[in-house]
Amino acid sequence: MKKVSTILIGAGARGIIYSSYAIKHPDELQVVAVAEPDDFRRNYIKDKHGIPDDMCFSAWKEVLSLPKFADSVMICTQDKMHYEPAMAAIEKGYHILLEKPISPSPRECIEIAEAANAKGVNVVVCHVLRYTSFFSKIKEIIDSGAIGDVVSIMHSENVGFYHQAHSFVRGNWRNSRESSPMILAKSCHDTDIIQWLIGKECLKISSFGSLKHFRRENAPENTPDRCIEGCREASRCPYDAVKFYLREEKNNPWFSQAVTGVVGPSEEQIEEALKNGPYGRCVYKCDNDVVDHQVVNMQFEDDITVSFTMSAFTPQIDRTIKIMGTKGELGGKMGKEMSIVLHDFLTKTEKKIECELPASGGHGGGDVGIMKAFCRLLNGNYSSNALSDISISATNHMLSFAAEESRISGRVIDIKEFSKFVMS
Ligand SMILES: NC(=O)c1ccc[n+]([C@@H]2O[C@H](COP(=O)([O-])OP(=O)(O)OC[C@H]3O[C@@H](n4cnc5c(N)ncnc54)[C@H](O)[C@@H]3O)[C@@H](O)[C@H]2O)c1
């Protein structure tokens, strides 16, 4: 099997996760260069992968101005920084692993898809749910006909109160003008997975939702701007940053790395970040504007209907799904534990379906799964059905853009008209 060479662009949280695949599977992937402005992160990747000095760059423009020297690039920069490096990499003929969202601009999503198709390169969008054993199993059961024709789906993305506070109130995806609206940043995975499971086109969308709770007017009286400044409400507040980052999740690499910007920070570094950085702020006093709850209704071809709910106010991070077919119902939960149950209307039986719980790897095994699929695609050994063409990823992003348009305008959105409108 040919080893795939790749250039990492953006050595933040996601870049570190994807590139770690090369350490565990050196026969499949090699990180041959890195572009990252932050010295600590760039050096971290350089040391982990033994990258020579002249293959370490401080910005994507430097590495993509050179003649092509690897099979692929992994673009793991922030949401608004995907378009330019993606277009430059396509121009050079690189295959791309591209973090979601493709872009916060619907037009740019379509432009990337068109450019990739014209050049004949693969752009694999990190819709990691497709590569989990949970959703693969559900797809397999639907395609087997075990529940007959799919008629309705109820799907929930349970964000988790602490995850909302971390990423969407204090963190990188708190403000839609700086990153993306919630339905794109968080839930483009869900619109994509729903379309993949159904395998048909979405025709219409409507949506409601708002930022109800994490607002200045909900701050208790006389509380400081930062939790670490002796907030008298701390013991009554589920969102207290001191309790969370310095005690409960002190050793959680996801949170500690985001808060401090370094891998494996000391307690002093976390304390310093809570005094001065964005993650120490009171959740009621941030510059956030993304919604904390949203519902989306979708009508697909063949009269299939879907309701999707995203909410911050759940105890854990997980997803629940119920798929109702003409011959049976399929229910599942994907989180720390996974379960799938199939009800057969004819035999009136209930069957628990085995679903492999990954020993390691985030997103229910999807982070490792996508890397395996990406390497196999590039070395010609891919044989599954999870990977999607960039055109499908871009089309499925339109569902998120259309839902946001509906939420803001109060209108039902016709997807075909909406897609035409964004390109006009
Ligand atoms: N697929 C998923 O499930 C999933 C989960 C979380 C985040 N994401 C997405 O992944 C992307 C990255 O998120 P993250 O949490 O890793 O962010 P991050 O901020 O930790 O990492 C981004 C990195 O890009 C670097 N960077 C900035 N300018 C650069 C330049 N000119 N050249 C090269 N690198 C540059 C930054 O210094 C930073 O290290 C985002 O778009 C996010 O929405 C996807």
Residues 278-293: tens digit of each pLDDT: 999 999 999 999 999 9
The per-residue pLDDT for 423 is 86
Rounded CA-CA distance 225/245 in Å is: 16
Place of tokens 């679903």: 355
**CA 9–ligand 1 middle distance (angstroms):** 9
Residue 106 pLDDT exceeds 80 = yes
Cα 258 to ligand 1 centre (Å): 11
List the domains of the chain with CATH numbers: 4-125 (3.40.50.720), 129-214+289-360+389-423 (3.30.360.10), 233-280 (no CATH)
Q: Given the CA of residue 13, which atom of ligand 1 is nearest to it?
A: 16
Q: Which atom of ligand 1 is nearest to the CA of 11?
A: 39
CA of 17 to the centre of ligand 1 (A): 11
Please identify, by atom number, the ligand 1 atom nearest to the C-alpha of residue 257: 20
Q: How confident is the model at residue 250 (pLDDT cuts 50, 70, 90)?
A: confident
| Ligand 1 mean position, distance from CA 101 (Å) | 11
Strand-pair partners of 347: none
Q: What tokens were used for 295? A: 């519902």
141 membership: H or E segment, kind and range: helix 133-144
d(CA 175, CA 287): 7
Q: φ and ψ at 312, to 5 degrees?
A: -75, -25
What is the number of the ligand 1 atom nearest to the C-alpha of 362?
Answer: 3
The predicted model gives 149-167 an average pLDDT of 98
Residue 184 Cβ inside 6 Å of ligand 1? The answer reads: no
Give yes or no for residue 79 CB within 6 A of ligand 1.
Answer: yes
Phi, psi of 267 (to 5 degrees): -60, -35
Q: How far does residue 94's CA lie from ligand 1's centre (Å)?
A: 19
Q: Please state, in angstroms and rounded to a whole number, the distance separating the CA atoms of residues 190 and 175.
A: 20
Centre of ligand 1 from the C-alpha of residue 61, in Å: 16
What is the distance in angstroms between the CA of the first residue and the CA of the last residue of the chain? 45
Using the predicted structure, report yes or no on whether residue 176 has a pLDDT greater than 80. Answer: yes
Ligand 1: residue of 43, 77, 168, 178 to mutate (most ligand atoms within 8 A of CB) is 77
Q: Is the pLDDT of residue 359 over 80?
A: no
Query: Could you tell me the two tokens for 244?
Result: 């969370």
Tokens of 163: 């995850």
**pLDDT of 110 above 70:** yes
C-alpha count within 13 angstroms, C-beta hemisphere, residue 219: 18
What secondary structure letter does DSSP report for 89? Answer: H
pLDDT at 143: 97
- Residue 238 alpha carbon to ligand 1 centre in Å: 28
Give all strands of the β-sheet with 328-334 in edge-to-edge order: 349-353, 338-344, 328-334, 318-325, 150-158, 304-311, 293-300, 202-210, 413-414
Taking residues 310-324, report their average pLDDT.
97
Mean pLDDT, residues 192-219: 98
How many other β-carbons are positioned within 10 Å of the β-carbon of residue 111?
19
pLDDT tens digits, 207-223: 999 999 999 999 999 99
14 touches ligand 1 (CB under 6 Å): yes
**Confidence class for position 262, pLDDT limits 50, 70, 90:** confident
Q: In 10 A of CB 357, how many CB atoms?
A: 13
Query: Alpha-carbon distance 414 to 402, whole Å?
Result: 8
Q: Is 153 in the pocket of ligand 1 (CB under 6 A)?
A: no
**In whole angstroms, how far apart are CA 52 and each of 44, 141, 161?**
13, 47, 43
Cα–Cα distance between 81 and 27 in angstroms, integer?
30
State which ligand 1 atom lies nearest to the alpha carbon of 41.
Answer: 39
C-alpha 15 – ligand 1 centre gap (Å): 7
Q: For ligand 1, say whether the CB of 9 is within 6 Å of any of its atoms.
A: yes
36 lines ligand 1 (CB under 6 A): yes
57 phi/psi in degrees, rounded to 5: -125, 155
Average pLDDT on 352-379 reads 86
With a 6 A CB cut-off, is 59 part of the ligand 1 pocket? yes
The model's confidence at residue 363, banded by pLDDT at 50, 70 and 90, is confident
pLDDT of 361? 66
- Mean of the pLDDT values across residues 237-252? 94
206 CA to centre of own chain: 22
* Beta pairing class for 4-9 and 202-210: unpaired
Residue 307 backbone dihedrals phi, psi, to 5 degrees: -120, 135
Q: Is 115 in the pocket of ligand 1 (CB under 6 A)?
A: no
Query: What does 105-133 look like in DSSP terms, one character per residue?
Result: SHHHHHHHHHHHHHHT--EEE--GGGGSH
H or E element, residue 407: helix 390-409
Beta-carbon contacts of 270 under 8 Å, excluding residues fewer than 6 positions away, are: 245, 246, 250, 256, 259, 260
* Distance separating alpha carbons of residues 333 and 352, to the nearest angstrom: 12
pTM value surpassing 0.85:
yes
3-state secondary structure of 216: helix
CA of 82 to the centre of ligand 1 (A): 9
Contact 297/207 with Cβ under 8 angstroms? yes
* CB of residue 242 inside a 6 A radius of ligand 1: no
- From ligand 1's centre to the CA of 100, what distance in Å? 10
Q: Please report the pLDDT score of residue 164 as a whole number.
A: 98
Residue 187 buriedness (CB in 10 A; 0-12 / 13-18 / 19+): buried
Identify the pLDDT of residue 424: 86
